[in-house]
Amino acid sequence: MSDKQYDVIIVGSGAAGCVVADYLARHTDKSIAVIEAGPMDRNPMIHIPAGYSKMLAKDTNVWAYNTVPVNGQERRYRMGKVVGGGTSVNAMCYVRGQKQDFDAWQEAVGDSGDWSWETMRQTYIEQERNDTFHNAHHGIDGPLSVELPQGINELNQRCMKAFQEYGLDYNADYNGARQTGVSPVQSNTDKGKRASAAVAYLHPHVDSGRVTLLTSRTVSKVLIEGKRAVGVELHWGSRVEAIRADLVILSAGAVQSPKILMHSGVGPRAQLEEFGIPVIADLQGVGENLHDHPIIPIAAFVKGKMGYQAAAQGVGMLASGMRYFVTGMARLRAMASRRCPIGTRITSPTKSRPSNAIMSRSFRRMASTRRVPARG
331-338 vs 314-327: helix axis angle to the nearest 10?
100
Domain chopping of the chain, boundaries? 1-93+187-292, 148-185+294-376
Please choose, from the candidates 296, 307, 363, the residue with its C-alpha nearest in 3D space to the C-alpha of residue 156. Answer: 307
CB-based contact 22:9 (threshold 8 Å): no
CB-based contact 306:151 (threshold 8 Å): no
As a whole number of angstroms, the distance between CA 40 and CA 79 comes to 16
For residue 122, what pLDDT band results from cuts at 50, 70 and 90? Answer: very high
E strand or H helix at 5: strand 5-11
Q: What is the number of other CB atoms lying within 10 angstroms of the CB of residue 288?
A: 11
Angle at 27 between CA 199 and CA 13, to 5 degrees: 35
Domain covering 1-93+187-292: architecture: 3-Layer(bba) Sandwich (3.50)
Residues 6+ apart with CB under 8 A from 105: 115
pTM: 0.87
- pLDDT of 253 above 80: yes
CB-based contact 357:95 (threshold 8 Å): yes
Residue 331 has what pLDDT? 44
Residue 258 has what pLDDT? 98
Q: Around 317, how many Cα atoms within 13 Å sit in the side-chain half-sphere?
A: 8
pLDDT in tens, 261-314: 999 999 999 999 999 999 999 999 999 999 888 788 887 777 777 665 555 555
Residue 351 has what pLDDT? 65
Residue 360 has what pLDDT? 75
pLDDT in tens, 74-111: 988 999 999 999 999 999 999 999 899 999 999 999 99
3-state secondary structure 111-139: HHCCCCHHHHHHHHHHHEEECCCCCCCCC
